[in-house]
Structure 1
């Protein structure tokens, strides 16, 4: 019997700590306006986990919650303001920010909400217009090409 991999994720100051067991259900980049504004970045590197794979092992009383919409409950450390995770109740998944997971081999497989991108990336990964159909999206793929090539520029 093989032991499942265990990871530790922390907020910026380390006061809030998570334990992650196993492997994420999906990894990729989110380009939606909500994630961009929340992370103050042009794109968010996500790792989606089953809720029973994620537990708060330290600092639960320091977690703040903000739900801009019913689809995302964002949690952050009240001490340092560091982002910790986002629960997605409709999908039954928890996004733990890939950069906060120690020793984690982030291997993105998809771009989601690519129709909202402000930073086009041409990396050969599938570009979902919104979300894959299995996650409640349209499943529509967008082309992975530079904007000028898509417009027929030489």
Structure 2
């Protein structure tokens, strides 16, 4: 089974995920953009039970603007670590925190909110896939 180790910016929080992500892609929603302080967020979604915090659990802070996303960061350095999505049973481990993961994005979500158009031939979801509670609609690049 594949295992990928990650850590926060300063290394106080270390974790691993095992197996294969359920999905990888780019999120363009305003919330992810503001949280990441970037124009787009690269995500990897894993079943929640595949994430294991190896050290620094007491250094993990949490904020959730809504019950859909429980955002986690390191209390020491402020580095963003991952986001729990309890309604889906998934955790979004930011791709930048998994340096050994071969990032293979399959789609863009919330593309209607994009501030950085990316022309890569991948599907551009208006919001989310239907199986995740979205419209399932795509929009042109």
TM-score by length of 1: 0.90
**Partner of residue 14 from structure 1, selected from 11, 14, 28:** 11
Tell me how far apart the structure 2 counterparts of residues 34 and 103 of structure 1 sit (CA, whole Å).
26
**Partner of residue 52 from structure 1, selected from 39, 42, 49:** 49
Query: Are residues 1:27 and 2:21 paired?
Result: no
- Structure 2 match to 1:84: 81
User: Based on CA coordinates, which of the two structures has the bigger radius of gyration?
Assistant: 1
User: Which region of structure 1 is more displaced relative to structure 2, 84-93 or 22-31?
Assistant: 84-93
Tell me how far apart the structure 1 counterparts of residues 6 and 90 of structure 2 sit (CA, whole Å).
16
CA drift at 1:104: 1.0
**Partner of residue 134 from structure 2, selected from 109, 133, 137:** 137
Partner SS for 2:49: helix
- Structure 2 match to 1:39: 36
CA drift at 1:102: 2.7
Tell me how far apart the structure 2 counterparts of residues 91 and 43 of structure 1 sit (CA, whole Å).
22
Residues matched between the structures, number: 141
Tell me how far apart the structure 2 counterparts of residues 124 and 116 of structure 1 sit (CA, whole Å).
18
TM-score by length of 2: 0.98
Tell me how far apart the structure 2 counterparts of residues 55 and 31 of structure 1 sit (CA, whole Å).
27
Query: Are residues 1:62 and 2:48 paired?
Result: no
Partner SS for 1:124: coil
Partner SS for 1:75: strand
Structure 2 unaligned residues grouped into runs of 5+: none
After TM superposition, the runs of 4+ consecutive aligned structure 1 residues lying more than 2 A away are none
Cα deviations by residue, 1:70-104 (Å, 9 ceiling, x for unpaired) = 11000000000000000011121100000111311
